[in-house]
Amino acid sequence: MDDTGRALVAAAVSEAEAGTSGEIVVVLADRSDGYSDVALLWAVGAAFTAMSVFAAFPLPFLDLWDRLIGGWGHEWTTGELASMVIALGLVKFLAVLLVQQWEPLKFALIPGPAKTMRVHNQAVRQFRVGAERRTTGRTGVLIYLSMKEHRAEIVADESIAAKVAPEVWGEAMGDMLSLIRKGAVAEGLAVGVRDVGFILAQHFPRGSEDVNELPDRLIEV
């Protein structure tokens, strides 16, 4: 995000906090996980599938190999067959692992529930580091957006969670994502911040002695 976008989000946080004692933290992440374990699972699965197909239907593979080496028939020993199976599995494993270096394919192969769970877990981790119990009244809220997974989370401190049901954040989330889907990331975050600020102001209005306890700037990770 460029400096103009960062300034827009920071200004939205300042504006939203002007009417509430709540503190809003905004985190923008490129991704929430490397998903290397998922890539390995796909590669292992592909390798075992190829090995299983070979074991069930060996003749087409062996005939192809015979044609490649000159067309002469060959009497395959048990050891050679075992080596062929292992080699086929290894080649398949490396090939599937390699093609997943292309990130659009890699993220397309990650199951939706896995993305949702890891974005949520990372949002909670960021909240614990940047907002949880860091305000006097425990009124911190974190807005977390993970770009590669196309997912967002709103995590609230315990004082807010006791008064505001999780589904109440749905409207803020919807307004935010509707703009982000169009490519207006900064504008979407700013709208989400304003909606969250409006909700907080209803339950935690700003007091005369309230001070800004958390930074208003956009945090990028």
Taking the C-alpha atoms of residue 133 and residue 9, their distance in angstroms, rounded to an integer, is 23
Cα dihedral sign for 82, 93, 111, 34?
A: positive
Domains of the chain: 3-33+111-220 (3.10.310.50), 36-108 (no CATH)
How much of the chain, in percent, has pLDDT values that exceed 70?
A: 87
Sorting pLDDT into bands at 50, 70 and 90, what band is 76?
low
pLDDT for res 154: 92
Taking the C-alpha atoms of residue 25 and residue 143, their distance in angstroms, rounded to an integer, is 6
Name which residue leads in pLDDT, 76 or 20.
Answer: 20
pLDDT in tens, 196-211: 999 999 888 887 666 6
pLDDT in tens, 170-193: 888 998 999 999 999 999 999 999
Kindly state the average pLDDT of the residues 117-131. 88
Average pLDDT in the chain: 86
pLDDT for res 177: 93
Report yes or no: 16 and 24 within 8 Å, Cβ to Cβ.
yes
Whose CA is closest to 146, among 92, 185, 111, 198? 185
Name which residue leads in pLDDT, 215 or 32.
Answer: 32
What does pTM read for this prediction?
A: 0.81
pLDDT in tens, 24-33: 999 999 999 9
**Helix or strand run (H / E) with residue 108:** helix 103-108
Report yes or no: 46 and 96 within 8 Å, Cβ to Cβ.
yes
Structure tokens given for 48? 């075992």
